[in-house]
Chains A and B, each alone.
Chain A
Amino acid sequence: MSTTDNTARPDAPDADPETLIRFENIEKQFGRLVALENIELEIEEGEILALVGDNGAGKSTLMNILCGVHQQTAGHIYYRGERITFSNPSGARDLGIETVYQDLALMNDLDIASNVFMDQFPTRFEAGPLRIIDWATTYERTGEILEFLNLDLDPHSEVSFLSGGERQLVAIARAISFDPELLILDEPTSALSVAGTELVQERMKQLREEGHTQVVVSHSFEEVFDLADRIAVLYQGEIAEVVSPDEVDKRTLTNLITTGRR
């Protein structure tokens, strides 16, 4: 049974310059339960990597390690070849890792701009703890992000009256406002209509074209085959295989998910 290894290792392995994140022998235990083990995985810059697996396979645990909610019990994470450690979501954010959770974390009574910039408002005056919000810049920058996402929405619009797809994109807009290196999306279309799914998937492709790296946790085969550059299949806490959507069909992927073998 492995234990937490906090010893720094100065001689980090040479990394492929295109590799943004590399997991090395990651293990995670909750008490006596081993949720993840022997995780070796690379996330390449600019790709959409799909993380798939059955319930309990370890997708959420791996995602939560990457976004700082959980810490691995053993193993290392490398970011552009540098070994990194972070112990909370703000540590991940400082490294440029943003997560859009399944529940979106939106505040329904507030408008789009307030949702996008909550807790990170641009200010026009600061004196000690007193900070005055620069609303003009807040709305302007929100408008720019919405335009970037090709969303024809007024930044003043209240979030509770948006469609499911628009709400998902507002959550993505918030993540983008931090100008992240890596965007993690947890089941981004699971609660959406056909039109909403199409809207979100189009914007995800657009983000890839703009060079944003994305990790998508998904149950939807259609989404995985349509969007992903590579698919990492988790089975009982281990990586069963990392495949390209071109080299597998749905049956093979189903076998990998349910048995860990092709």
Chain B
Amino acid sequence: MSVVTSLDFDGGTDGVVLTLLDNMIWPILAVAVLGALVFVPQTFTNLRSIELLLHSSVGLGFLVLAESICLISGHFDLSVGSIAGFSAMFAALVLSPSNWAVFASPVAGVVTILLVGALIGVVNGVFISKLGINPFLQTLAFLIIFEGAKISLSSLPVSDLPSGYTAIGASAEVAVGALLLTFLVVAILMKRTPFGQSIYALGSEKESARAVGIDTDRMIIAVYGLSGLFAGVGGLMLTGYTTVVSPDTASGLVFPAFAASVIGGISLFGGRGKVSGALGGVLLLGLVQTALNLSGIGVAQIQAVNGLILLIAILLYNTRSNIRQRILSAEATQ
């Protein structure tokens, strides 16, 4: 693994602390599960409730994956939610018999949503790498443009979708299985392939990555293309979960996506973090959301809690970085 872990150090206590810092999400998740069991026991009444919790997290999960890859590469993507919502709406209109009715085939619908997502992502990447536009500003512009474009396409929900198309996201087993499998494949890609390591290199020092021979422009385009693709998959899963695409599909999901990535240990400054940790972040947010829903708290308050979680995630990240730096500096000078 390219990131230093406790295994590299002989110091027992420091080693344990570093391991905990690098995998902080899992003890936090364990505490959250215990808290839910004590204060909102109905969260885990039976297997069905756990299945529901996981199923409801799938759409967000793909957006977190999209965001995590961008963050590791040292970039931002504020447009993941808008890409998911727009591509879902576009594909829905393409498939809907009462709208554009271009295709009836669910496969064509899946190809459409993934292509639209990936294409928007590639455009993000080209603008950022080739035209030198700041990633924050570029993806903020696309957030606004595609949020508006989604509503412009249809101000009414689109519900007459082929059942084969919605079945992917509607089936808890298929959707959760697809999420876990995708996280596994991406985790292997990031750790075991030169491509994945180049993403870490790009996020760590872009100029150094370029100097050692990595085509950084192509990598940035690939990263945003992947981000757009996973945002498109997120749109597909959200469509299936509700079997309808409405103008507010995937709206506001970019901030939970950031929160889950950061709380899962992905660095806001690039070069660090594991996608497995980001999956932990998805589970934590899903759990908190479900527990709050079941405890009867209103939607507005849930939004505030989401914001609070994002703030806590950033504070935790800062604290973790400081502690990590202190320990490793001490090790280096010994």
**Using a CB–CB distance below 8 Å, which chain A residues touch chain B?**
89-90, 101, 103-111, 113-114, 118-121, 123, 130-133, 135, 154, 156-158, 160-163, 174
B1-20 residues at the A interface, CB under 8 angstroms: 1-5, 7-8
B194 within 8 A of A: yes
Which B residues are CB-close (under 8 A) to A157?
Answer: 4, 8, 332
Which A residues are CB-close (under 8 A) to B197?
Answer: 110, 114, 118, 121, 133
Partner of B329, one of A101, A104, A154, A161: A161
Q: Is the CB of A118 within 8 A of B332?
A: no
Which A residues are CB-close (under 8 A) to B201?
Answer: 107, 110, 114, 118-119
Q: Whose C-beta in chain B lies nearest to the C-beta of A119?
A: B213
Which B residues are CB-close (under 8 A) to A111?
Answer: 1-4, 8
Partner of A101, one of B1, B4, B200, B211: B211
Q: Is the CB of B207 within 8 A of A105?
A: yes
Partner of A114, one of B7, B192, B200, B332: B200
Which B residues are CB-close (under 8 A) to A105?
Answer: 205, 207-208, 211-212
A155–B29 Cα distance when bound, in Å, is 32
Q: Which 4 A-B pairs give the minimum distances between C-beta atoms?
A: A109-B271, A105-B211, A161-B332, A107-B204
Interface centre among B203, B204, B209, B271 (most CB of A within 10 A): B204
Interface centre among A109, A113, A120, A130 (most CB of B within 10 A): A109
Which B residues are CB-close (under 8 A) to A131?
Answer: 193-195
Given A118-B212, A119-B212, A161-B332, 4 more pairs with CB closer than 8 A: A109-B2, A118-B201, A121-B194, A157-B4
- A107-B209 contact in complex given A118-B198, A118-B214, A161-B331, C-beta closer than 8 Å: yes
A154–B201 Cα distance when bound, in Å, is 19
Interface centre among A101, A110, A114, A161 (most CB of B within 10 A): A110
Q: Is the CB of A132 within 8 A of B192?
A: yes
Which A residues are CB-close (under 8 A) to B211?
Answer: 101, 103, 105
Q: Is the CB of B3 within 8 A of A109?
A: yes
A131–B205 Cα distance when bound, in Å, is 23
Q: Whose C-beta in chain B lies nearest to the C-beta of A154?
A: B8
A162–B331 Cα distance when bound, in Å, is 10
B274 within 8 A of A: no
**What number of A-B contacts does a CB cutoff of 8 Å give?**
98
> A168: shortest Cβ distance to chain B, in Å?
14
A121–B207 Cα distance when bound, in Å, is 19
Interface string of B271-294 (1 = CB under 8 A from A): 110000000000000000000000
> A29: shortest Cβ distance to chain B, in Å?
25
> A247: shortest Cβ distance to chain B, in Å?
37
B302 within 8 A of A: no
> A180: shortest Cβ distance to chain B, in Å?
14
Which B residues are CB-close (under 8 A) to A133?
Answer: 192-194, 197
19 contacts between A and B (CB under 8 A): A89-B213, A104-B208, A106-B205, A109-B270, A109-B271, A109-B272, A110-B200, A113-B2, A118-B197, A119-B201, A119-B214, A121-B194, A123-B194, A130-B193, A133-B193, A135-B1, A160-B328, A161-B328, A161-B332
Which A residues are CB-close (under 8 A) to B209?
Answer: 107, 118
B201-233 residues at the A interface, CB under 8 angstroms: 201, 203-205, 207-209, 211-214
Which B residues are CB-close (under 8 A) to A158?
Answer: 3-4, 328
Q: Is the CB of A107 within 8 A of B205?
A: yes
A132–B196 Cα distance when bound, in Å, is 10
> A229: shortest Cβ distance to chain B, in Å?
28
Partner of A110, one of B194, B204, B328, B329: B204
Which A residues are CB-close (under 8 A) to B207?
Answer: 103, 105
A106–B201 Cα distance when bound, in Å, is 9
Interface string of B108-137 (1 = CB under 8 A from A): 000000000000000000000000000000
A90–B210 Cα distance when bound, in Å, is 12
